[in-house]
Amino acid sequence: MKKNPRSRPATQADVERARREGQVEGLRLCEALYLLTLCDKHPAVDANTVRAEVGELARSADARYMTAADVRTTLREEYGIDLMPGPSKAIAHGLR
């Protein structure tokens, strides 16, 4: 196979930028899936209010008032929701 003479190898900065872009896209997909589920299956719930409240929690996490482990523990102990580590089954099975 012939190599493109104008190509350049990826730098570590290129790899990090691609990783960050992938993480952001994954988070956007998760947010969209949850909001679509709320709108579609639970129309009585105001999805805009939920989104705003999630934003408040995210700012609290960003300010280090709580950790991801704290959130998972609260979900498990108070609501019986046990989040498995790793990607969800839907994402693992190629939902993009």
pLDDT band with cut points at 50, 70 and 90 for residue 64:
very high
Q: What's this model's pTM, rounded to 2 decimal places? A: 0.64
Structure tokens given for 1: 């196979």
| pLDDT tens-digit readout, 31-62 | 999 999 999 999 999 999 999 999 999 999 99
Helical spans, DSSP H, in the chain? 12-41, 47-62, 68-79, 89-92
User: What ranges do the domains of the chain cover?
Assistant: 16-92
Q: Determine the pLDDT at residue 91.
A: 55
Q: Determine the pLDDT at residue 41.
A: 94
Q: What single-letter DSSP state applies at residue 7?
A: -
